[in-house]
Amino acid sequence: MGRGGFGEVYRAWMTTPGGLQTEVALKILRPDPLRRADASARFRDEGRMLSRLQHPAVVRAFDWADLGDGHVALVTEFVDGADLLACVGIGIGERPLLEVIGSVASALHAAFHGTDPDGRPMQVVHRDIKPTNLRIGRHGQVRLLDFGIARFGSEERESRTESDLVVGSVPYMAPERFSERVSSPAADVYGLGCCLYEGLTGEPFHRDTRLRDLSAMALDPRAAAEHLATRLQQLPATVHPDTRALLERCLSHDPARRPTADEVARACERLATEVAGPTLRRWCTQVSFPEDTSFAATWTGRRVTEGEEDPAGEEADRGRPRVVHQAGATVDPDLLEAEPPPALSTTPLELVVPPVEAPAAANGWGARLAVGTVGALGCALVCLSVAGALGTLMIAVLGSGW
The DSSP call for residue 121 is B
Is the CATH code 3.90.10.10 the one for domain 81-286?
no
Contact 116, 48 (CB under 8 A): no
**Alpha carbons 27 and 42: distance in angstroms, whole number:** 13
**Alpha carbons 175 and 218: distance in angstroms, whole number:** 4
- Residue 303 pLDDT: 53
Q: pLDDT for 321-337, tens place per residue?
A: 332 222 223 333 333 33
CATH T-level fold of 2-78+294-398? Phosphorylase Kinase; domain 1 (3.30.200)
Burial 354-382 (b: 16+ CB within 10 A, else e): bbeeeeeeeeebbbbbbbbbbeeeebbbb
Average pLDDT score over residue span 107-129: 90
- Residue 191 pLDDT: 97
From its phi and psi, is residue 290 left (phi > 0), alpha (psi between -120 and 50) or beta? beta
Q: How confident is the model at residue 32 (pLDDT cuts 50, 70, 90)?
A: low
Average pLDDT score over residue span 281-290: 94
The total of other beta-carbon atoms located within 10 Å of residue 353's CB is: 26
Q: How confident is the model at residue 133 (pLDDT cuts 50, 70, 90)?
A: very high
Cis status, amide bond into 96, omega within 30 of 0: no
Catalytic choice (45, 128, 146, 188): 128
What lies within 8 Å, CB to CB, of 30 at 6+ separation is 5, 6, 7, 8, 39
Average pLDDT score over residue span 309-329: 35
Closest CA to 229 of 243, 202, 215, 248: 248
More confident residue, 84 or 300: 84
What lies within 8 Å, CB to CB, of 52 at 6+ separation is 114, 116, 117, 122
Closest CA to 46 of 151, 132, 127, 116: 151
Domain boundaries, the chain: 2-78+294-398, 81-286
What proportion of the chain, given as a percentage, has pLDDT over 70? Answer: 66
Q: How many residues does the chain have?
A: 402
Query: Which range has highest mean pLDDT (49-63, 97-111, 178-192, 213-227)?
Result: 97-111
| Least confident residue range of 202-206, 291-295, 390-394 | 390-394
Query: Which range has highest mean pLDDT (164-173, 186-195, 372-381)?
Result: 186-195
Please report the DSSP string for 162-197 in residue order. -TT---S-GGG--GGGGT-SS--HHHHHHHHHHHHH
- Residue 316 pLDDT: 38
Phi, psi of 399 (to 5 degrees): -95, -25
Q: pLDDT for 197-224, tens place per residue?
A: 999 999 999 987 788 888 899 999 999 9
**Alpha carbons 326 and 347: distance in angstroms, whole number:** 6
How distant, in Å, are the alpha carbons of 4, 52, 76, 335 from that of 30? 9, 25, 17, 14
Q: pLDDT for 237-283, tens place per residue?
A: 999 999 999 999 999 999 999 999 999 999 999 999 999 999 999 99
- Residue 302 pLDDT: 59
- Residue 243 pLDDT: 98
Amino acid identity of residue 239, one-letter, is V
SS (H, E, C) 274-327: HCCCCCHHHHHHHCCCCCCCCCCCCCCCCEEEECCCCCCCCHHHCCCCEEEECC
The DSSP call for residue 336 is G
- Residue 312 pLDDT: 41
Closest CA to 199 of 102, 56, 126: 102
Average pLDDT score over residue span 295-319: 50
Closest CA to 332 of 318, 349, 348, 308: 349
* Residue 128 falls in the annotated catalytic set: yes
Contact 111, 185 (CB under 8 A): no
Is residue 235 predicted with pLDDT exceeding 90?
A: yes
